[in-house]
């Protein structure tokens, strides 16, 4: 009899606990409404919105390969399955044409659809949460008036049951999303660093790729510099952007700005993939003032406790062995035959042409994914106005196309 009562008690507690969890997930989230006066016919607001939407790189995720810009359909891989980005053109049937300003705000800054459903955190609303009411209002004008409507239905996520249930996503949003936050520019002292912090943490959502994530929740472990894990790198997916010895310690803010503008600087170049696309679609179109501000903010960040404190040291013995032909090993043979002509036997590359491999932060990440991707798929910096002819590296003969990195 006692055992039966214990079992009934445990079952009862489970039912109550389950009901509590479900209630927490389904309880509606209230958000502050934007009270700004918005004129959809204001050309200045539209242009401001175009700029902040470009800085936010909305087109990268909301455009399928060979698809119409902003019409959605980009497959986004995740540990639970494949999601597809949505149509954010002002089409009233399949896009966001029926969104009010506050519907738009709740989706962008809070991850909540007009019907109350929580958006998958592939939408980087934890970063966008710090964006100002004015920037959100201007973006709304741009998406309502600056983009042509496209009638393209959204594609359902390819996620198997029970992971396809959406109510647990609300729990993730409520527990790991930042909620209502306000960016405090005065906390940074220097207006340039404050502007850079706003862009890096917010519209630029740099932490979505460059900050480590929890292995259990997949949430970013930090959203700003209050933790030295913020922008400390994410395994083989993205290198550290902090002042680590093998990170940006040796770069100036001008080097960072030039990289964001052209995908290269006098001694380095971004590898193909996500960052190359960021430059192509987003940062090359930003003002030099904003790019320098982002550089100033990143240079204000110290080294992370998560990364080694010793820097890479070039090995002259290895370089000399390449020169006199005494080096042995299959890796050395491949490098000499296929890499040294451009990147030199000492790995220093050629200034403004071929990036340095020795000490390259993208190659010093814990996992070899960036190097493998570059070798298999090739590498070419995007064409930009100041560098119209992309000098690139061909992919290996017969190499398979590498899959796109998951967008967080």
Q: Is 264 exposed, middle or buried (0-12, 13-18, 19+ CB in 10 A)?
A: buried
Q: Read off φ and ψ for residue 354, nearest 5 degrees.
A: -120, 125
Decide which of 400 and 96 is more confident.
96
Q: What is the average pLDDT across 18-32?
A: 77
Residues 6+ apart with CB under 8 A from 167: 22, 25, 26, 118
Decide which of 153 and 263 is more confident.
153
Tell me 337's DSSP state: H
Average pLDDT of the residues of the chain: 86
Give the pLDDT confidence score for residue 75 in this predicted structure: 94
Query: For 98, left (φ over 0), alpha (ψ -120 to 50), or beta?
Result: alpha
Closest-CA residue to 83 (of 178, 235, 176, 218): 218
The 3-state DSSP class for residue 368 equals: coil
Following DSSP, what letter does each residue of 257-301 receive, concatenated?
HHHHHHSEETTEEPPTTHHHHHHHHTGGGS-HHHHHHHHHHHHTS
β-partners of residue 268 are: 265
How far apart, in Å, are the Cα atoms of 242 and each of 154, 238, 295, 325?
38, 12, 11, 38
Domains of the chain by residue range: 36-149+166-182, 185-312+359-403
Closest-CA residue to 104 (of 41, 67, 58): 58
What is the Cα–Cα distance from 338 to 341, expressed in whole angstroms?
Answer: 7
Q: Read off φ and ψ for residue 118, nearest 5 degrees.
A: -80, 135
Instruction: Report which secondary-structure segment, H or E, holds 209.
Output: helix 207-210
Give the pLDDT confidence score for residue 399 in this predicted structure: 45
Decide which of 377 and 61 is more confident.
61
pLDDT band for 403, please (50, 70, 90 cuts): very low
Tens digits of residue pLDDT in 178-230: 888 999 999 999 999 999 999 999 999 999 999 999 888 889 999 999 999 99
């Amino acid at each position: 009899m006692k055992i039966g009562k214990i079992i009934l008690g445990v079952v009862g507690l489970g039912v109550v606990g389950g009901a509590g969890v479900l209630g927490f997930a389904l309880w509606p989230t209230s958000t502050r409404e934007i009270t700004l006066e918005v004129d959809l016919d204001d050309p200045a607001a539209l242009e401001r919105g175009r700029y902040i939407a470009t800085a936010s790189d909305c087109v990268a995720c909301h455009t399928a390969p060979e698809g119409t810009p902003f019409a959605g359909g980009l497959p986004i891989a995740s540990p639970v399955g494949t999601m597809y980005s949505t149509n954010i053109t002002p089409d009233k049937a399949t896009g966001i044409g029926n969104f009010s300003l506050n519907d738009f705000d709740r989706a962008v800054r809070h991850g909540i659809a007009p019907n109350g459903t929580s958006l998958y955190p592939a939408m980087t609303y934890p970063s966008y949460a710090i964006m100002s009411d004015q920037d959100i209002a201007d973006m709304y004008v741009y998406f309502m008036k600056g983009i042509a409507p496209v009638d393209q239905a959204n594609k359902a996520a390819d996620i198997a049951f029970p992971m396809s249930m959406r109510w647990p996503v609300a729990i993730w949003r409520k527990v790991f999303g930042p909620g209502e936050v306000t960016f405090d520019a005065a906390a940074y002292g220097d207006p340039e660093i404050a502007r850079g912090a706003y862009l890096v943490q917010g519209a630029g959502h740099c932490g979505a790729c460059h900050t480590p994530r929890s292995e259990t929740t997949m949430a970013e472990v930090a959203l700003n510099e209050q933790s030295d894990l913020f922008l400390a790198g994410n395994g083989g997916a993205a290198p550290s952007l902090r002042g680590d010895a093998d990170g940006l310690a040796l770069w100036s803010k001008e080097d960072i700005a030039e990289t964001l503008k052209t995908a290269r600087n006098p001694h380095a170049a971004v590898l193909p993939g996500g960052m190359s696309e960021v430059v192509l679609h987003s940062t090359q179109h930003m003002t030099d003032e904003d790019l320098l501000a982002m550089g100033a903010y990143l240079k204000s960040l110290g080294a992370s406790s998560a990364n080694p404190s010793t820097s890479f040291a070039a090995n002259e013995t290895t370089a000399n062995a390449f020169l006199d032909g005494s080096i042995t090993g299959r890796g050395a043979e491949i490098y000499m035959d296929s890499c040294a002509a451009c990147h030199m036997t000492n790995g220093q590359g050629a200034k403004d042409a071929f990036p340095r491999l020795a000490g390259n932060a993208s190659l010093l990440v814990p996992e070899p994914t960036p190097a493998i991707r570059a070798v298999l798929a090739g590498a070419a910096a995007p064409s930009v106005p100041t560098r119209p002819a992309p000098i690139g590296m061909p992919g290996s003969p017969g190499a398979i196309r590498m899959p796109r990195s998951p967008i967080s």
